[in-house]
Structure 1
Amino acid sequence: MVLLRLSPMALSRSRFALSPLAETLGSMIVLGKPCSDPWLARWHGRHHPAFAATLDTDPFAKGLVTLFGSTKWLPEFVAMPPSGGMRTTLTSELEKVARVPDEEVRAGLAKSVSHSWKRHDLSWLDGHEWGARTADLLRRVWDTHISPDWPRRRALLERDVTYRAGLLAAYGWPRALAHMSRRSAWVGTDAIRFGNRPGPDRVVGDEGMLFVPVSVASGTWLCAAPPDKYAQVYPARGYAATTDRSRPHHALEQLIGTGRAAILRALEHPATSSELAAHLNRSLGTIGGHLGVLRDADLIAGTRVGRRVVYRRTESGDLLAGQRES
């Protein structure tokens, strides 16, 4: 198994980040396959036909998507750590992808083929400027299938970061990383186990490790940039809950009102008032008023984390919200 070893300096500087590139890559892989996740069925059904039609007219794009969806190794020219923290832009990331020389692209794809559970060849790798062509494909996927939904997705990702940052402040990195990935775990006091494949240990540089949530991928992958920069991409908590809104919750709504019921359900995962406003598409003032009533009723509680107040359900709130599941 691969261990990512962190010095005390690297540990203190590790942090969370967002990557529109990782979000696009994960979404592209999901769109390239039949839908296996019920909570993605609606989005997949809307976008898959157009995406499949695009692949049918572009052998290069189809080869990339098919390979990325059937390998345990995503090449480093697309799996790179974001450089802008929580403000990373897709344009800045795709500029780096576009500059990757052809020989590096081919080497990365060949390694992906060697780690695939399907048979592949690279006969579709014709012409040149493969980095630029990959960046163009990712841009088209973003513009067509992700950008309209990005504000909601970003709010979801920020909620996950807020939740884990609270765990980090209270309990340290091992608790913050718990359940981030089925194959990743904290080992001892200075290392993270990544995956179960054999390989040499890697040493994280003094800038620290990045942890990057994405909203649609069910898997996780490691991003690397020479000589010692690493980021772990992982599925954010709560995506299924935010996309499956088909079940009725009339009893809870009749009891405490539609707006407050929506907030209580949304606080299945702790969030700030701003995150709730973005998630529920309500004004900050409306959210604040409802939060005050719910807090006075001892259904939620707020905890200050830095400059933000993170709200969570109390035991009474959990009990009340849980009654709607019966």
Structure 2
Amino acid sequence: MIRYRLGPGASGVRWAMSPVHEVVSLARVLTQPGRHAGFGPWLRRRRERWAGLDLSALTVFMADGAYRPDFLDPPPASDEPSFEDGLAAVLAAPVEQVRAELVDATRRCSPAVRARLLGDPEGARSAAADAVRRLWEAAVEPEWVSMRRALRAELVDRALQVGREGLGAVLPRLHGSLTFAEGTVAVRSAVDVEVAGRGGLVLVPSLFITNRVQCATSDHWSPAVFYPASGRYLWSPPPAPRSLDRLVGASRARILASLATPLQTTAVAGLLGVAASTASEHLAVLRDAGLVDSTRAGRTVTHELTDAGRALLAAAGGAGTA
């Protein structure tokens, strides 16, 4: 069990996104695409982007079941850091941390590769960072606007949920291994680690994690838990039940299906391929019908299904109970 001791309430928890984490996690997916069927259509349509890229300095750490060193994936220092911020943190990882983590990360490597990496931890760190940049520029940066939109919607929605229901109710919905009680976030794990989270815990949604969580417990970083983001509909948009098409129209049926995950207006517009103003009109009709609820935080409006909307979607055969 991994335990992050935070103290009472959720004041020690913050939510953030990480562009570097998305790139590193994508690299893992690319090494084992058959195990991540949900990404299949997206990967097939874009495989030319990374064809020919030398990612070996990064994927050398992606063997099935192997420890992925923490220095590759530092927890974000702010809520929405840039890719350059994250890569700078990778390159700033202390050499003693890199060397210590390489000892565990290279146990399944060949003796020659292990000796090379352990003999030059600074070079291993630099080469891995170069590979991260190449994959970012080829595959993630061209779509970062939509990815960031999905992650931002996740951050807003989860913060609202915690405010309404408390951290203890929300954490198990992020992943079944997570619980919160008596000021401690616990992660079911084969390892036994206790972290004094005096600086707080960072919760980071990930678009490229499937059915697991990733925990950062290093003394060099803020404690963090990376978990599967609900915005993974980007890879396979949820289908709208045909019966809803006849009832509310095709566009509004697609909105109802998509709002099984709360979304901001721009994300709804992106899914429909329409202007934000058109999406707003559809959302207003659904809101007036009592099927959608909208919450404003500054200039951002997040939309989610009401109980009536979920019941309608579930009755029509959709994912309203997700």
TM-score of the pair, normalised by structure 2: 0.84
1:268 aligns with 2:267: no
What letter matches 1:121 in structure 2? Answer: S
- 1:90-109 to structure 2, matched below 5 A, reads 90-100=83-93, 104-109=97-102
Supply the distance in 2 between the matched residues of 1:285 and 1:314 (Cα, whole angstroms).
22
1:54–1:184 Cα change, 3 Å: same
Q: Would you say the 8 A contact 1:71–1:112 is kept in 2?
A: no
* Pairwise CA distance, 1:190: 1.1
Supply the distance in 2 between the matched residues of 1:183 and 1:291 (Cα, whole angstroms).
35
Supply the distance in 2 between the matched residues of 1:151 and 1:141 (Cα, whole angstroms).
16
1:196 aligns with 2:195: no
Where structure 2 has 5 or more consecutive residues not aligned to the other structure, the ranges are none
- Please identify, of 139-148 and 267-276, the stretch whose mean Cα deviation from structure 2 is larger: 267-276
Partner of 2:139: 145
- Please identify, of 146-155 and 18-27, the stretch whose mean Cα deviation from structure 2 is larger: 146-155
Supply the distance in 2 between the matched residues of 1:323 and 1:271 (Cα, whole angstroms).
22
| Equivalences, count | 312
What is the SS of the residue equivalent to 1:178? helix
Supply the distance in 1 between the matched residues of 2:302 and 2:24 (Cα, whole angstroms).
30
* Pairwise CA distance, 1:98: 2.3
1:243 aligns with 2:243: no
Supply the distance in 2 between the matched residues of 1:178 and 1:272 (Cα, whole angstroms).
23
1:217–1:112 Cα change, 3 Å: same
What letter matches 1:183 in structure 2? Answer: S
TM-score of the pair, normalised by structure 1: 0.83
What letter matches 2:37 in structure 1? Answer: P
- 1:178-257 to structure 2, matched below 5 A, reads 178-186=172-180, 188-205=181-198, 207-218=199-210, 219-224=212-217, 226=219, 229-239=222-232, 241-245=233-237, 249-257=241-249
Partner of 1:58: none
Supply the distance in 1 between the matched residues of 2:183 and 2:106 (Cα, whole angstroms).
32
* Pairwise CA distance, 1:204: 0.6
How big is the alpha-carbon RMSD for the aligned residues of Structure 1 and Structure 2?
Answer: 2.8
What letter matches 1:96 in structure 2? Answer: A
Q: Would you say the 8 A contact 1:98–1:134 is kept in 2?
A: no
1:79 aligns with 2:73: yes
| Cα shift readout 1:229-262 (whole Å, capped 9, x = no counterpart) | 21111110141x4432485754423432232222
What is the SS of the residue equivalent to 1:67? coil
| Cα shift readout 1:38-81 (whole Å, capped 9, x = no counterpart) | 321112223457646434xxxxx436414334245321211311
Q: Would you say the 8 A contact 1:77–1:97 is kept in 2?
A: yes
1:54–1:228 Cα change, 3 Å: closer
What letter matches 1:3 in structure 2? Answer: R
